[in-house]
Chain A
Amino acid sequence: MLVVAACLALVPGCRRRATTTTAWGQGYNPNAGHNGYGQPSYGAGGAWLPVQPAEAGFRCQMPGRAEVRERRGWAEDGVPFRTIIARSQMRYGTFSIASTHWEGGIAGDALDQTRALAERIAEIGELRNREVQRLSVPGYYGREDTGRTQDGAFVAIRQFVGRERLYVAVAVVANEQGQPLRAAELFMESLQFDVSDMILPRGQPDIALPTFVPEVDFAAQMPPFTGGDSRSLTIADQDLKLRSFESVGQRTFRVIVLEMEERPPEGFLDRVAAQLDLGEAGAPVHTSGYPGRAYRSATLRSHAIVTASRVYVLQISADEGSNDAAEAFFQSFRIL
């Protein structure tokens, strides 16, 4: 189909964050009652078989027998790439996934590249009723774009950014309720990725590692994440999205990112500090040229930094002997 061909042609070397979260279209809801990653038991027009091409970094389930092929070439910067594509075509739809690896890994703004790829595919496929959603997949950045072609076929595109590879999964299914949409859902839910390709490091707790979270544009030296939070809140009549990333071990390291639609008003940081209970205000600080202020409570030392559209709050346990660790953490923090 044109959309699938477009996806496969555009994937390697192709170029605003998916910040919109919307409801799923009816009949397609991979997050509702899914059975984890791949239990082929639905007989949706053919047996579902495992697909795990060598050195592709993914595995999944596809209906029927998938065709696997490889493409090699050179990117714009002269770096060789290799794309492994698995594709299965049934009467009611086409399912494909492409894994691209560049020598030296993914460079530049990968999230911007996924956005550009999705836009390009949507343009070629003339998709209507588009929806965009960020996907929560531990260790990877993921986004999903869905839409309908002119003849009503349902299209779902999932992209996952790893450390070395970009994964693009596409399902295009007929304009029928039930089986086709369910098949698309099953395919997408069956996707699994090689953990060694995770963006966010796994390692020993309490040992700081270079950490980069592209979705909210920060890098720091901190231990691997053990948890986090994602929710909405309102401060000073501003609706904000809060995301936190924390590592709880001998010490607590935490980065809270508040995203705003509008520029922060005067005195906003003080209100954020009060709402998040950061404690007593201290000296002015700055990170990557952005202004902020230090805070201290009974248990935590914090730096709160303001940019044009975000507030970053860096926190570390305020126990005795943590000064060096705190300074190292704060000094390592960058806003990209």
Chain B
Amino acid sequence: MDLNLWIPITVGLGLVTLILMFLFVKACDKV
């Protein structure tokens, strides 16, 4: 696998998902 492509993609995927969890906290607050 091309490390220059896949390392940023996989790190980014993890961070985006965790950011979504922050947003989910805010959503639960508004429920």
The answer to whether A and B interact is no
Chain B: residues with CB nearer than 8 A to chain A?
none
